[in-house]
Structure 1
Amino acid sequence: MLASCSVHKSLVVLTTNDTHSQVLPGDDGTGGYARRLGIIDTVRANNKCVVLVDDGDFSQGTIFFNFFKGDVEVLGMNTMKYDAVTLGNHEFDNGLDSLAKHLSKAKFPIVCANYDVKGTALEGLVKPYVIIKRGGLKIGIFGLGISPVNLIADYNFKGITWHNPEETANAVAEKLKKQAKCDVVICISHLGVAESAKFSDWTIAKNSHYIDLICSGHSHLVINKQVPNADGKPVQIIQAGKTGAQIGRVDMVFRK
């Protein structure tokens, strides 16, 4: 993937989604935290500029979440040194107080631009976006969360306001690209790619102006596709299956 910027600068984006508390490898030997960390460390050792993100639903699905309520997942992601993480619907399964308790132990930013968490237990723990300076690049990363309707119990989402993700994405991406002068804008999204959905990562990409890459979650699919945005420019969408069996990778080269 090519973008307009300074010559001879490159960025590797690694992304995971819907890992669902799979701390140990699956029955087929794939996935697991130790194997994931080994792959991440290898990529970092061989590339100067690497960003690691997660697109939500890192919780729920195994005995580790049932017993430890999310602490194992957060501590594991701390060890892997994630740069930014967004929230999936399953992060809310045990309610806001439980979620806030284990997110308070995170050493990585939690970003979700279209969830207004003011006045809730998540206030101060979740921010709209983060800007990372690495390898001579300014990288803007923002998150998008799925509508809670029919996915998150009302009492587990109480006090949070869900905003239109398309309007939010365009506003935040423009701010990052035009005002903050980011070289690249990455959206980490848990909207999914369902064709029938009013809002999906497809619609976000097609109606965007300043997003370069969407790291997608929720749909449990393997996707690597470019979609033209509202100005006819390509937006890369990538999704890496489920349970951590795969890690998504996008190599970006910046040149004039």
Structure 2
Amino acid sequence: MIRRKFIKQTAAASSLIGFGGLTMGMSNNSLLKPSKKHITILHTNDVHSHVEPFPSNDPRYANLGGAARRMNIIQNVRKENPNTLLLDAGDIFQGTPYFNFYGGELEFKLMSMMGYDAATIGNHDFDNGIGGLAAQMPNASFELLSSNYDFSNTIMDGLTKPYKVFVKDGVRIGVFGVGIQLSGLVNKTMFKETSYLDPIELTTDTVDALRNKEQCDIVICLSHLGYSYKNEDKISDLTLAAKTAGIDLIIGGHTHTFLEKPTIVQNKDEKFVLVNQVGWGGINLGRIDFYLDESNKLKSSSLVLDV
């Protein structure tokens, strides 16, 4: 099998995206200038139990993906920059016989081996029932983050956190999760008494805690809301970015959207938010590099890594 190892450079990688008043469209030479801090974010979404590469006869994704290849890329990036976070935006489960046979055990163990730092919950992560999800939690060495699912009356109570603060090279990075409305999408018997809370309200409260209480320099949302919808009443990543403030990056899932570069959205404070999603099935690994200068102003660049 021939392994594909090339990297697609996006438009955002050849120009830096400004935050907090920095201008956009800066020269790529800016990447060569020393920055005070450099944080790398690697991310996946909607892997759907694709442990192995797609088969060679797949009409669209022949020989792409696979956990072993992804792990190799992750290890190489970490050698390049030890200040790296690895995140997932949900729908870890369901899609191949590995889930049918092992119920998510293999997926969580492989993610733990790869060194994932955090993930959020997708609707398909309830496909073995909320009890099935809870049963696999001991196999996850990473944090499962959800700010707008109230699990207090379920077996998942206490097994998730609304957010987590990571410190890399002195930079405080707040990561939180939001999930999609389960009613009408997932059978009630699968999620039991899980309560869905408004993601915009919960995001506002969570970001306030991360920025003010936790004093975070970077705030990242792991979202399984979906990239965008024709029905504007349905909350999407683009809606969340526009109607809130204080988020630097939304890593999305659910809609299996392949973005060659992050979408730039102006938030309610007229500052820029990156919204990214890298398809599905583990065939891509997203990469966002944040650069903080001496005054902690933020710049970013992005890549899409083919697995």
State the TM-score bracket (shorter-chain normalisation): over 0.9
Q: What's 1:240 paired with?
A: 278
Q: What's 1:78 paired with?
A: 112
TM-score (ref. length: structure 1):
0.96
Q: What's 2:183 paired with?
A: 149
Is contact 1:2-1:254 (8 Å) kept?
no
Distance 1:2 1:139 in 2: 18
Matched AA of 1:207: K
Aligned partner (choices 138, 146, 149) of residue 104 of structure 1 = 138
Structure 1 unaligned blocks of 5 or more: none
Aligned partner (choices 80, 83, 87) of residue 53 of structure 1 = 87
Q: What's 1:26 paired with?
A: 54
Is contact 1:57-1:89 (8 Å) kept?
yes
Q: What's 1:208 paired with?
A: 244
Is contact 2:47-2:91 (8 Å) kept?
yes
TM-score (ref. length: structure 2):
0.81
Quote the offset at 1:36 in angstroms: 0.4
Matched AA of 1:84: A
1:13 aligns with 2:41: yes
The correspondence of residues 78-227 of structure 1 with structure 2, limited to 5 A, is 78-195=112-229, 196-197=231-232, 198-223=234-259, 224-227=262-265
1:150-190: per-residue Cα shift (whole Å, max 9, x none)?
Answer: 21110111111100001111110111011110011100000
Distance 1:216 1:17 in 2: 7
For the pair shown, the structure with the greater C-alpha radius of gyration is 2
Q: For the structure 1 residues 2 and 79, does the alpha-carbon distance in structure 2 shift closer, same or farther, using more than 3 Å as the test?
A: farther
Count of residues in Structure 1 that have an aligned counterpart in Structure 2:
254
Quote the offset at 1:3 in angstroms: 4.7
Matched AA of 1:235: V
Secondary structure of the corresponding residue to residue 193 of structure 1: coil
Is contact 1:13-1:251 (8 Å) kept?
yes
List structure 1 segments (4+ residues) > 3 angstroms apart after TM superposition: 1-4
Is contact 1:18-1:56 (8 Å) kept?
yes
Give the superposed CA RMSD.
1.1
Structure 2 unaligned blocks of 5 or more: 1-16, 21-34, 56-61, 296-307
Distance 2:169 2:51 in 1: 31
Matched AA of 1:211: I
Secondary structure of the corresponding residue to residue 104 of structure 1: helix
Matched AA of 2:222: I
1:251 aligns with 2:289: yes
Quote the offset at 1:194 in angstroms: 2.6
Quote the offset at 1:127 in angstroms: 1.0
Quote the offset at 1:254 in angstroms: 1.1
Identity of aligned residues (%): 40
Quote the offset at 1:119 in angstroms: 2.5
Is contact 1:225-1:237 (8 Å) kept?
yes
